[in-house]
Chain A
Amino acid sequence: MKALIIDDEPLARSIVKEYLQGYPQIELVQECCDGFEGVKAIQQHQPDIIFLDIQMPKINGFEMLELVDNPPATIFTTAFDEYAIKAFESHAVDYLLKPFSKERFDKAVQKCMGQANVMAQRNSMQTMLDAASHSPLQNQRIVVKIAGKIKIIPVEEIHYLEASDDYVKIHTKEGSYLKNKTMNYFEQTLDTALFTRTHRSYVVNVQQITRIEPYEKESYVVILKSGKQVPVSKAGYAKLKSVLGL
């Protein structure tokens, strides 16, 4: 079995390493000190198990997992994070609260190794990530992967979101990025004072709007500062009106 440690504190990594020495069948392939290295190392080594810290530079542990296509079995290690603990507790993903004992560590590793149903773990991980994304930090930015690079988009810079098959296209000044999430997900997590779902397939940053014009019968179109036109349905128009206080 291959294992990976992702934590920004060297001593926190060394204790996991120390505890792992009791497992000759687990090979520690790499230690990473941030999420960027983590994503790369996961692709490179395809580990069976990762030890992941939550609070890390640039992108946190949850955001890092969002960027990995088939996340391996994950044991979260964290000191104190109310949102994270809430997210764990409601789902069957194991986590270690720092500082943790060897016994507690063994239990987590054994649970992970004995996890017969990998799909089940994967599903609960997905719902957990969704729960974790309601934390105040994470709804300030969106992390995407583009051409092998990781891009962090502060939400204020988003012009609008567009549904695109199984993905959502995030449009900004610099260009557009795809994110493997649903429109409902964004509608629920983004700040409602800033973003409004104007249409089944569109969510608009209201601060980018310059004009709203009628378009055909009972529908409208908003014109953004960038000149881009975004459709507005009848229901979307009502929502937009209440947000803008018209």
Chain B
Amino acid sequence: MSISPNRKFKYVFAAWWLAWAMMHYSVLLNYGLTPLQAFADSCISNILLAGCCLLIINNMRYYLPRQEKYWYVLAVSFGLASVWLITVRLLLWVIFRNTDVYLSMLSGSSTIRYGIAFLMLGCMATMSLLFFTQKEQKEMDARKMEAEKLAKEAELYKLRQQLQPHFLFNSLNSISALVGARPEQARKMIHQLSDFLRGTLKREEHQLVKLEEELQYLELYLEIEKVRFGHRLSTIIECSDNCKIMKLPSLLLQPIVENAIKFGLYDTTEDITIRITASGKDNYLQVNVENPFDPETSSPKKGTGFGLSSVQRRLYLLFARNDLLETKSENNLFTTIVKIPQPY
């Protein structure tokens, strides 16, 4: 059977006080007091002193002094020892007020009693101060480790998201099919896929890029998707010259377009066109991404579901705003609208 540290402490604490009280009792007997007097003296002094120690421990558990710790320990021991002595003397005087021999011993032994109590309380306070400081340190370390673990997990999750296993495996499968029949095209697709992956790896979350660059990167992605889905997928990109130099967080558009492609391709059985339009208005760069859907079988009314939540989160982290991403559905057309404040 294992004993919890807390329980073990209780046993040691009780045993210590029992031994101490017995010693106290025997010393008083040697001084010639009656057993009753020695017993009452020992009990009252030591129960009260043990109580004071518990008080210190509990106090330290909830309040650890930050500065001037040792002065605090001294002050507490000094104060409590004084209060203790006064209480003990008062109680014993009340009980034995008619016994002169005892009372003279009591007043004669005040100094030594005070000294013992002061040392005892001081030790207790120092020990609990060290114990709780160490415990706090351990907890802080554990918290720090937990926080580091979380950060690492988030990082890994981000990497996984960037690598998009579904897209990657399907593209590799397409290449595998092309190798036999059209090796030239297979090679081209390998290059496109490599460029795309390199693009995802080298960019960073907080980096801002020109729309022009982001669109080039998007083209790579769209080319690969078009090989996969063949004639079913076509895209239109409209971008006026003035917004080509506007800036936006890197890799922001690709998940939005990917979402639109998935939504469009898997929600209808016809050929689909994804339209991407960029425009600049009142210090904002606005990009609309449109995809067709079937209003009878799906319910895009559920806000920004469909994998857009991570885009939303990212925009919030970058700009501290929740109103930069909107979606609307009209007739058979679902539109995702993203606005990026300009300039920085």
Residues of chain A at the chain B interface (Cβ within 8 Å): 8-12, 14-15, 18, 33-34, 36, 55-58, 79-81, 97-100, 141, 152, 154, 156
Contact = CB atoms under 8 A, between A and B. Distances in A.
Contacts of A156: 299
B269 A58 contact: yes
B39 to A, nearest CB: 62
Contacts of B294: 58
B178 interface: yes
B227 interface: yes
Nearest to A13: B177
Given A36-B269, A98-B173, A9 B297 contact: no
Given A11-B177, A18-B181, A33-B269, 11 more contacts: A8-B229, A9-B174, A55-B166, A55-B266, A57-B266, A58-B267, A80-B165, A81-B166, A98-B172, A152-B296, A152-B297
Interface of B: 165-166, 169-170, 172-178, 180-181, 227-230, 232, 265-269, 294, 296-299
Contacts, number: 75
A9 B266 contact: no
Contact of A99 (B169, B268, B269): B169
25 contacts: A8-B232, A9-B174, A10-B229, A10-B230, A11-B174, A11-B227, A14-B181, A15-B176, A15-B180, A18-B180, A33-B269, A34-B269, A36-B269, A55-B166, A56-B266, A57-B265, A58-B267, A58-B268, A79-B166, A79-B169, A79-B170, A80-B165, A99-B175, A152-B297, A154-B297
Contacts of A8: 229, 232, 265
Nearest to B172: A99
A79 B173 contact: yes
B218 to A, nearest CB: 21
Contacts of B228: 9, 11
Nearest to A143: B297
A33 to B, nearest CB: 8
Contacts of A9: 170, 173-174, 228-230
A12 B297 contact: no
Contacts of B169: 79-80, 97-99
Nearest to B170: A79
B177 to A, nearest CB: 4
A5 to B, nearest CB: 12
